[in-house]
Amino acid sequence: MRRNPLVAGLLSLAIPGLGQIWAGEGNRGAAILAAAIVIGNLNLIFLPIFITANPDPGILLAYWIPRVGHDAISLWSVVFWIWAIADAHRVAASPAQRPIPTR
C-alpha cells in the first residue's frame, strides 16, 4: 500500500519529519525532526544575542553583522523546512517504498 504524497507533505508542513515517519521512513523522519529542533533552538539562543547587540550605529559592520547573522539562520530554517516537506512528498511517492506491515 502506497502512502499519499500530499498527506506526507502536509504532515511535514505541520511538523518537520512527521511526513517521513508516516511514509514508513522512521529513522529519516526522526533525524529530520531532531535537526529541526536543533535549528529552532539555535534561533532561540542567538536571537536575544543579536537583539541585545547594540553597537554604535556609526560603525556600519558592527551594526549590521548581528542582524545579517540572525537573518541567515532564519533563512536556513525556512529552507530546511521546505526541503523537509519536499522530501516527505518524494519519500511517499517513491515506488521503492517498503510495504506497510499489516497484522
Q: Give domain limits for the chain.
A: 5-93
pLDDT of res. 14: 95
pLDDT of res. 42: 80
Whether the full predicted model's pTM is greater than 0.85, yes or no, is no
pLDDT of res. 100: 59
3-state secondary structure the chain: CCCCHHHHHHHHHHCCCHHHHHCCCHHHHHHHHHHHHHHHHHHHHHHHHHHHCCCCCCCHHHHHHHHHHHHHHHHHHHHHHHHHHHHHHHHHHCCCCCCCCCC
pLDDT of res. 95: 73
pLDDT, block means (10 residues), the chain with 103 residues = 86 94 93 92 77 65 71 86 94 72 64
